[in-house]
């Protein structure tokens, strides 16, 4: 099946954080806090997807109370941080929410996302993802991580399902 033929069956969006929702940069403050930059258009799309009834989750190896709060503020409570085994968290999330793996669009950018991306119905990545991730993605966004790639995939799914506007 092609990328476009799978858009209509997506009920769930799951994203990695660093390198997908951010550009992967970390800024260290004088107090030692690590700060991330998020794209407001990605945030709008995440909130809209949740409001339209989609499951939306984040699975990240990173830890950041301020980042977690950002997603809670967008109405996304399913934020898993400090995750060492993303595949295990992914399987638990599907079971707890009665979701089939084929209904999931997962966007990742690097090797920690690889195993989960091999399990989902629609693996996707930003344009600056690693070569291994690009090789298994059915869709490579023209946008880099943190620069609208999340908005890109959410918009495509919602438009196909007549839920964008």
Binding-site positions read 16, 18, 109
Residue list, annotated binding site for substrate? 18
What the block records as the tokens of 25 is 């940069």
Q: Are 60 and 18 in contact (CB under 8 A)?
A: yes
* DSSP calls for 99-125: --GGGEEEE--SGGGHHHHTTSSEEEE
Query: Strand ranges (DSSP E) for the chain?
Result: 12-15, 27-28, 34-35, 55-59, 79-80, 104-107, 122-125, 139-140
Residue list, annotated binding site for Mg(2+)? 16, 109
Q: Are 71 and 46 in contact (CB under 8 A)?
A: yes
């Amino acid at each position: 099946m092609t990328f476009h033929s799978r858009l209509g069956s997506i009920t769930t969006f799951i994203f990695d954080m660093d390198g997908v929702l951010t550009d992967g940069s970390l800024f260290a403050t004088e107090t030692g806090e690590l700060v991330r930059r998020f794209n407001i258009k990605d945030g709008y799309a995440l909130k809209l997807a949740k409001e339209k009834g989609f499951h939306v989750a984040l699975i990240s190896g990173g830890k950041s109370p301020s980042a977690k709060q950002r997603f809670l503020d967008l109405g996304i409570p399913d934020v898993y941080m400090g995750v060492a085994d993303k595949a295990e968290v992914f399987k638990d999330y599907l079971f707890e929410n009665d979701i089939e793996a084929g209904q999931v669009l997962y966007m990742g950018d690097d090797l920690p996302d690889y195993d989960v991306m091999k399990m989902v119905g629609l693996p996707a990545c930003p344009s600056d993802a690693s070569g291994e991730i690009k090789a298994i993605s059915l869709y490579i966004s023209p946008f880099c991580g943190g620069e609208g790639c999340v908005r890109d995939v959410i918009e495509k799914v919602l438009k196909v399902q007549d839920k964008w506007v």
